[in-house]
Structure formats: C-alpha cells, structure tokens
Structure 1
C-alpha cells in the first residue's frame, strides 16, 4: 500500500471520528447539589415550580443558602443547549450579552437564627451579564474558588412567536381511563414559520414543571391552516398521581395541622403525623401548589435571612412489598431529585419508614415515591394514580429552521387537569 493511500485512509479515519463524536454527544445532566447548599430558588415575575420558564428579556433572580455560613465566594457560569440538552454550536457571545464567570457579590448572613447560614442573591440582568440574547435551553452553574460546581440548574427562556392551546383528556384506553391524563395541544403560528414541522419543530410536555419526567418525542399528527394538531392518547399521557401532601413550619415553636410535636435540641425538630398509603383509597381533593414550596417565617420581616432551619421528621406506614425498591420523598424542594437525603429508612421494630431532613421554614409540598431497582420512579406506588387529580401541564414548542444553528423556544402553553374531559 502506497504512502499516499495510507495518508488518505488516516485522514478519512480522523474526519469520520470527528463527525461521529459530534453526533454522539450526550444530554447534559445537572450537577448534584453540595450538602451545604440549601433552598435554591428562581424568582421572576411569574411563580413556578420545577424548572424555571422565563420570557426572553424578563429579569430573574437566583437565590440560595450556604449553611456553612462562612461567606464563601461563589461564581456563576451560563451555558446554552439544544432542544435535547446536548451542547449547542453557538458561541457564548451569540447567546449572552456581557460576561459570566463573575463572583456573586450580593449576600447576607442569617439574623436571629439557630442555624447560621449565608444567603446569596444573583440578579440577571446585571452590570456584567446584561441579557440573554436568544430563546431556548440554558443551564446556570454555581462554583467555588476551587472551580468545583456546588449546584447547577436548568432553565428555559421562551419567545412569543406561537400560541399554544393545552387541554387534558381522560385516556381512551379503558385500562387507564381512571388513572391517566392525556395531554392534547395545538400550536398556532400566524407568522407561518411552522413549515415542514416534522423536521423543524420539537415539543416539550411537562407535568407540574418536572422536566425529568417530560415527554419530548411527539410530532404533529396533522395540520389545519397554520395550526399543528397533537391529539395523541398513550403517547402523550401521564399517570394522574395524587395531590401532594404538605407541612407548614412558618412557626417552628408551635404545632400546625400536620405537625404532631416539637423538640428543641441544637435546632428545632418538627415531627409530622404518620402518613399512610393512599393508593388503595379513593381520591380525595386536597388543594396543593403542585409540588412547590414557599419560604416564610411568621415572625420575620425578611424571610431570606430570618427564616430558620428545622429538622422535619417524616413517618410512613407501608406494608407493600418493595421488591428491592426504595421509598423517597419527592418535590420541588430539591428540584425533584432523589438521593440519599430523600431516602426513607425502615424501622423493623415499629414497622414504619422514617426520615429526617433539614428544611428552611415555610410551606412545602411533598409526596412519597418508589425508586425501582432499574432507576424508574413509580410516583403512584404510595399515593395512587387518579384521573381526577389536579395537575398543571406545560407545553413548549421549539423551532429550528433549515440550516439553523440553534433551537428557539417559540411559545409556552399551560393547561390544567381540573378541566379534564372525555
């Protein structure tokens, strides 16, 4: 074999490897939150639970606590991603006006609390980061002086180029008619940008803004004028679940409807009443805030630094066989993440599952879920699945024109299952 042929083959090999590496990119995951970082909140003009969804040009604030309380230095980094959360081809100056990798300079120490902590506030835009220039998927990372990421959060920025109508239906499959909710929606664009939609349009469908359980593989079934119609049944269905449970620790020294007793050690300990399995009971409507939480101290003027931390004790009576699974508490208090801090332990002597976890004072939604050995989450194993459950569904369409280099989030639609129909 001549040297020229060898060189050509080597060149082809490296070029092929390069393009394969581009197409083999995997979706980015959020960095697990460090143990000393607590109560991460996005705040904007809208209230939301789960992944934040912001309008392009809308200011927002990220807040969090460091319970080490040592006024450590933290910095932020903003990255942009494709619809499927793979790295984007855009350079930073194409999606960001200004700079990131800047130190967070606004922080306060807690006041009149048993648990010392430092409360950090990052507002965007600011004098360094002036604007996010395009719509789509973003992630913000917070890291320390050693360039160690202490937490990361995904968020979505959308434009208003398309209107989205969202409504819920009961399943057409009789096996699931009483347990699942199917999301139907229509995307309308008066600007007629939705041409060849099966190649240019993607959609994200979320229940209660939990992006980890989102449906992302739906294509329009047909079009009517400028409307894309999605009327799937099983493909766009979610288990109905049940209403979230709650506790309110706005006054950690006084019992509320869900707190059985209180003890003071190094910090206050609040013991909740025992919860039971609801999967084998009838559905009962109980208003919730769809997994969200609100920080508040009844006796404080500034909840950011005057709300204390309290050890909440959970108890669950459960006799169902877990078959190697684990029971966890679940909610937006930690971005719907299951880890060792949310895992309940089993007290064989008293035949009860229990957990203690640190929470900042406030009103919290939570529920118990089963983490199966294969990594899937059975949200209805403890709480049950009911078609009557009130859930909020969000649909975001993404558009990338032929030859485009990024996925624009062109709208946002919200529907609620309290208006569910057959």
Structure 2
C-alpha cells in the first residue's frame, strides 16, 4: 500500500480514536472492596470541591504485597479526552507507586489494604475543575482498574427540586427533576451551547441523564422544568444486610457457617414489583465497612461468603437476573448473576464480600443489554432517592469544560 494512502487512513481514523468516550474498567477477582470517596462518606462517585482530598482504598486478596501505580487524566464533559496537557491540570507528578498499604490482621482471609490520597507529596494539586479518571496499574504497567471522579468550582448556585411526573401513564412510577442555576460571580454566555447539565441518581453514573440544555432563562438564571427529559424511574428502596459480627446472625441473615471462611446465608427475597410500596430506610445503594470489636475495620474486617437467594415467580422465568449495588460500582458480570437451583427451586448467588452494612437489589438485564431496575423491585414515585446535578460550562474560547456548580436533592419530600 502506498505510504500516502496509509497516512490518509491514519488521519481519517485518528480523530475518531481521540474522541471516543472513556469507560471505567472493573478489577480482576482478587481485588475487592474498592472504596472511592471525597470528604463525604458516600463511596464510588467522589464529587469534590477544588482543593479537597480524594481517597481511594482497595483490598488485594492474593497476599503478595504487589506494587501498584496510579495515573490521573482529565476529560471533557462527555468523557472524551481533554486537550489539556498534564502540567495544565496537575501540579506535580503521577505514575507513582502507592506506598501506603497494610496487611490484614486476625482474619481468615489474608489481604493487603492499599490507600491512596490525592493531593499528596508527589501529586501536589489538581489545578482545574472537570471530569477526571484515576487509573491503577500493576508492576508491568497493565491497567488493573479505573474510576471516575469530578472536581467542581463553587461559583454557581444549583437548586434541585424533585417532583412527580406530569405524565399520567407513569405518574405512580417516575420522579422528575427541576433545576434552577444562577451565579453572582459569572455571566453565562450562550448557555444553550456552553452549559451542560448531568443528573445522577443514587451516585450511579450508568443511569445518569446527561447533556440537558436550559429550557429558558430569566436574567442570569437558567431554568429546567422538563418532564420526560429529566425523569427517572423511582425504583424501590434497596434491600440490605449487616454482618459486622460474623459469628452471629445479624440483620437480614438467616444462618451462619464456618468452613475455610465464614458463610452467611441471607433470608430468601421476594419479587416486590406487584406489592404495595413500603417505606424502608436505606442508604441508596451504598455500603459501609464495619466489624464488631475491632479498632481498624480496614484491615481487621474479614471476608465472608454471602449467599443470596430469590424466590422464583412465573414472570422471572428465563430472565437474566443480577445483584445490583454500589458495592461493585453497579457492575454487571458473571459474579453478580443469579443461577436457578432446580433442586431447591430458588435463584442463588454466592459472593465474597467484606464485613459491613450493604444495600443491594435484584435487576433484570434485557437481551439488548439494557438494565431494568424495576422489573423485580418495582417502581414507585414515593421511593427515597438521592439526586446530584453537575453543571459544566465552557466559555467562549476556553479549552476545557469546567464544573461550576453542584446541586443535591432528595425525593423524601417529593411534591406534585
């Protein structure tokens, strides 16, 4: 092939590679309990103010005390790579080894607990707001896993109100978000083009609604009063269990057993889609690592085989059912799949999890790979959900998308 023709193909396809959206990479089986947070106790989706710390913790269950390295990259609002070079968004260096780790103490399952805090002595400061990806590599420079986080500048006020849907067909099942954005310190230039809004339900980026444009403006206020465009299925309250003491049956646990590790058997769950809504406080899909009679749960909490079970119904036949929650960043894979046990007439799954308090629910994955969160749990407008609204702004001539504000609302006091 002539060199000129090869170069033409390269220049045609090279921009397409650059403009592809980045996705998070899930870890291998021997890496568990990825706890990613900012200054709030919520894990997995840190949204922090410029200058605050972000903390990543994870366990490696092979006992080899492996070396791991981290890299930080900056992205546009749509998660395509930004044009900023590293020195423009970072003061210091990345690609550094994670030096802070400890081995487990007094546990049946041996593991090493790693902890990374940014900023640190090597990565002294992240200088600009926007979308970031934190990637973890092994000693051979192979990507092990990655997680998204955001940094915002508190330069805009973001009001968030949760209301019932105005669509009579789904008024009992959906919640819609109304937003008001204003600022006393900046003027919005061409907001329909330059302002982008993302709405996140229960810290789950996979179901986020993105690129919402202002519906209309009043002075420097941006008003969003859509119906279908900003509506979410209400879902249902998460199920939960607690096993901070593995030697006794705690909340949601029917029985325990000790083999090579402790085994906890949960009570069988029922399909809730056709049952009336019942308020049952949860932590919106999150989890907390806890264990009784220990000073440091990071290294003293043990790993337990959790045995989930779901009673079958006619509507669940031949369905692809999975366990869903923030404990694995809402990932869907073979480890979360429920298997039908004909001998016991029940769907089951065995999952190795660290001691603590966990929220979870059962969802159905359709043939087109879309997720139906309400098929088993149901959708109810009364469900208490947390919503975060992230506001991006790129001014005329700017080279990256700033995050200029963060708003938060709850459907606990949902109105018409």
Name the structure 1 match of 2:12.
17
Q: How does 1:284-303 map onto structure 2 within 5 Å?
A: 284-303=278-297
Q: Is the partner of 2:133 in helix, strand or coil?
A: strand
Q: CA deviation at 1:265?
A: 0.4
Selected match of 1:334 from 328, 337, 361: 328
Structure 1 unaligned segments of length 5 or more: list them: 1-5
Q: Which residue of 2 aligns with 1:146?
A: 140
Q: Choose the corresponding residue for 2:28, options 31, 34, 40.
A: 34
Give how far 1:145 is off: 0.7
**How far does residue 403 in structure 1 lie from its aligned partner after superposition?**
1.6
Aligned to 1:81: 75
Tell me if structure 1 keeps the 8 A contact 2:286–2:325: yes
Matches within 5 A, 1:362-401: 362-401=356-395
Identify which of 164, 169, 193 aligns with 1:199: 193
Give the TM-score normalised by structure 2: 0.96
In the alignment, what sits opposite 2:263? 269
CA distance in 2, matches of 1:156, 1:318: 40
Residue 108, structure 1, aligned to residue 107, structure 2 = no
SS of corresponding position for 1:211: strand
Task: Check the 8 A contact 1:171/1:177 in 2, yes or no.
Answer: yes
1:67 aligns with 2:61: yes
Residue by residue, what CA displacement relative to the aligned partner does 1:28-56 show, whole Å, maximum 9, x if unpaired? 01112111111111233222244211111
Q: Please, what is the CA RMSD of the aligned residues?
A: 1.9
Partner of 1:317: 311
Structure 1 position 46 matched with structure 2 position 40: yes
The count of residues paired between Structure 1 and Structure 2 equals 415
Secondary structure (helix, strand or coil) at the match of 2:246 reads coil
Distance 1:323 1:356 in 2: 20
SS in 1 for 2:87: helix
Aligned match of 1:251: 245
Alignment partner of 1:137 is 2:127:
no
CA drift of 1:134 comes to 0.5
Query: 2:84 matched to 1:90?
Result: yes
Following the alignment from structure 1 to structure 2, what is the Cα–Cα distance between the partners of residues 95 and 363?
A: 37
Distance in 1 (alpha carbons) for counterparts of 2:166 and 2:357: 37
Structure 2: distance between partners of 1:352 and 1:15:
54
Give the match for residue 180 of structure 2: 186
TM-score if structure 1 supplies the norm length? 0.95
Question: C-alpha offsets along residues 295-321 of structure 1, whole Å, 9 cap, x if unaligned?
Answer: 011111111100000000000012143
How far the C-alpha of 1:70 sits from its partner, in A, is 1.2
Residues 37 and 43, structure 2, Cα contact 8 Å, conserved in 1: no
**Could you give the per-residue CA deviations for residues 23-82 of structure 1, whole angstroms, max 9, x where no partner exists?**
872110111211111111123322224421111100122111001111110110111111
Matched, 1:278 2:278: no
* Offset at residue 325 of structure 1 (A): 3.7
Shift of 1:291: 0.6
Q: Is there any run of 5+ residues in structure 2 with no aligned partner, and where? A: none
CA distance in 2, matches of 1:370, 1:50: 22
Conserved? CA contact 2:58–2:113, under 8 Å: yes
Distance 1:13 1:148 in 2: 31
Is 1:115–1:267's contact at 8 Å kept on the other side of the alignment? yes
Equivalent position SS for 1:381: helix
Q: Does 1:233 align with 2:217?
A: no
Pair 1:304-2:298 in alignment: yes
Give distance in 2, aligned partners of 1:283 and 1:355. 26
CA contact (8 A) 2:18 2:80 kept: no
